[in-house]
Amino acid sequence: MTADTEVTGRAMDRERRIAGLTADGWRKAVMALILAAAVALPFGLGSFQTFQVTLVLIYAIAILGLNILTGFNGQFSLGHSAFFAIGAYTSAILMDRYEMTSYLTIPIAGGFGFVAGFLFGFPALRLSGLYLALATFALSVATPQLLKYNHFEEFTGGVQGINLLKDSAPFDLPFSVDQWWYFVTLAIALLCFWMARNLVHSRTGRAIMAIRDNPIAAATMGVNTALYKTLTFGVSAFLTAVAGALSAIVVEYVAPDSFTFLLSVYFLIGLVVGGVGWIPGAVIGGAFVLYVPNLAEGISTGLAGVLFGVIILLVIYLMPSGASGLVRLAVTRLQRGFDQDNNKA
């Protein structure tokens, strides 16, 4: 197949109409429905349920950051709990010690996360595969211990952590505190997903994916692999740190034991369940990470870990490509059904 034929085929797929709408039209319609449902959601939920959905969005942002690094650049990480902790503690320290408004701490936390990820990316340039995974694993294991270190206790609060108080809705808006922070988190999540989509579809994104597919070929074509790898690490850490800052504000508490290696494993599980290399899958992964462990614990407290593991195995067996593969299969069958109906007509 020539390049011209392939481009023509893609154009025909975009122009193919299903129930009077093109694929792009359906995509926009579905996104509009999802956005409308997301805006209306907190008004039909209680305070605790709204808090849970907010956490789903926070986890989705963190998983999105991991997806940029692993799904699109091919760098495997088990240390994103460390970047999550950097964002959370940056926001908490600025709010608690310097009395800074919580909204301003979020971009600052993201900036600290970017710097940390970029700097960690430099020594990681010499590592790949299992060796990179081992290096990031060491980072995630060391972070809680550093937060407990007595010389840092004045800032981090040590083992006891830091208690916070989140701001209520400004200008006397008719929202509860949980509803307001749901909308703040939703707005930040939409911004992060929009930025990630634009990054992936840009020239930089194509260079990042070229490194994932074949780093030697990418370098031969003039791609600065060292620069793009470190930048990708920085962007990934930025998103995860933003999620960490939002978590600290919404939960109103940070402590070292909240950022253990297990949190990195949860992010990885969410990435696999949502679909590696599929941006919307981060939301599905975030929902899975939050609700499924609670569901397993509700069935049996003593066997919660076993049930969670069984559920993960079943999901991987039934959806080896994650939710992205399931969605693509459903869309393909839907298109096939409409094509058959049109041919009969």
329 versus 110: which is more confidently predicted? 110
pLDDT at position 321 over 70:
yes
pLDDT more than 70, % of the chain: 91
Note the pLDDT of residue 337: 66
Note the pLDDT of residue 18: 57
Q: Kindly indicate the confidence band of residue 3, based on its pLDDT and cuts at 50, 70 and 90.
A: very low
Q: Give the highest mean pLDDT range of 31-35, 87-91, 150-154, 316-320.
A: 87-91
Which of 270, 205, 267, 281 is closest to 237 using CA atoms?
267
Q: How many residues does the chain have?
A: 345
Query: At which residue do the structure tokens 């869309």 appear?
Result: 331
Give residues with Cβ within 8 angstroms of 290, minimum separation 6. 52, 55, 56, 59
Which of 52, 28, 72, 84 is closest to 279 using CA atoms?
72
Q: What residue numbers bound the domain in which 252 lies? A: 46-260
Least confident of 57-71, 111-125, 168-182, 326-340: 326-340
Number of domains in the chain: 1
Which of 322, 325, 296, 323 is closest to 309 using CA atoms?
296
Backbone dihedral angles phi then psi of residue 55, each to the nearest 5 degrees: -65, -35
- Reduced to 3 states (helix: H, G, I; strand: E, B; else coil), residue 149 is coil
pTM of this structure: 0.91
Structural domain includes residue 186: yes
Q: What is the average pLDDT across 222-243? A: 95
Q: What is the average pLDDT across 131-147? A: 93
Note the pLDDT of residue 23: 66
Count CB-CB contacts under 10 A for residue 56. 20
- Reduced to 3 states (helix: H, G, I; strand: E, B; else coil), residue 162 is strand
Query: At which residue do the structure tokens 């253990």 appear?
Result: 260
Both structure tokens of 76: 């495997």
Structural domain includes residue 319: no
Q: Kindly indicate the confidence band of residue 5, based on its pLDDT and cuts at 50, 70 and 90.
A: very low
Give residues with Cβ within 8 angstroms of 295, minimum separation 6. 311
Structural domain includes residue 318: no
Which of 173, 130, 156, 186 is closest to 257 using CA atoms?
156
Q: What is the average pLDDT across 101-113? A: 96
Give residues with Cβ within 8 angstroms of 211, minimum separation 6. 73, 74, 218, 223, 225, 228, 229
Structural domain includes residue 155: yes
Structural domain includes residue 300: no
pLDDT at position 331 over 80:
no
Give residues with Cβ within 8 angstroms of 78, minimum separation 6. 133, 136, 137, 140, 261, 264, 265, 268
End-to-end Cα distance, the chain: 31
pLDDT at position 209 over 90:
yes
Q: Give the highest mean pLDDT range of 84-88, 122-126, 212-216.
A: 84-88
Note the pLDDT of residue 129: 80
Note the pLDDT of residue 11: 47
pLDDT at position 6 over 50:
no
Average pLDDT for the chain: 89
Quote the crossing angle between the two packed helices 177-200 and 47-66, to the nearest 10°. Answer: 20
Structural domain includes residue 292: no
Backbone dihedral angles phi then psi of residue 292, each to the nearest 5 degrees: -65, -45
84 versus 334: which is more confidently predicted? 84
Q: What is the average pLDDT across 120-139? A: 87
Note the pLDDT of residue 218: 92
Structural domain includes residue 287: no
Q: What is the average pLDDT across 10-27? A: 60
| pLDDT tens sequence across 63-94 | 999 999 999 999 999 999 999 999 999 999 99
pLDDT at position 245 over 60:
yes
Q: What is the average pLDDT across 279-297? A: 93
pLDDT at position 345 over 60:
no
Distance CA(317)–CA(309), nearest Å, equals: 12
80 versus 302: which is more confidently predicted? 80
Note the pLDDT of residue 7: 42
User: Is the separation of the CB atoms in 274 and 71 below 8 Å?
Assistant: no
- DSSP character for 46? -
Long-range contacts of 144-149 (CB under 8 A, 24+ apart): 144/85, 144/256, 144/257, 144/259, 144/260, 145/256, 147/85, 147/89, 147/256, 147/259, 148/256
User: Is the separation of the CB atoms in 124 and 234 below 8 Å?
Assistant: no
Structural domain includes residue 303: no
pLDDT at position 300 over 90:
no
136-157 burial, b at 16+ Cβ within 10 Å, e below that, comes to bbebbbebbeebbeeeeeeebb
| pLDDT tens sequence across 155-208 | 999 999 999 999 889 988 899 999 999 999 999 999 999 999 999 999 999 999
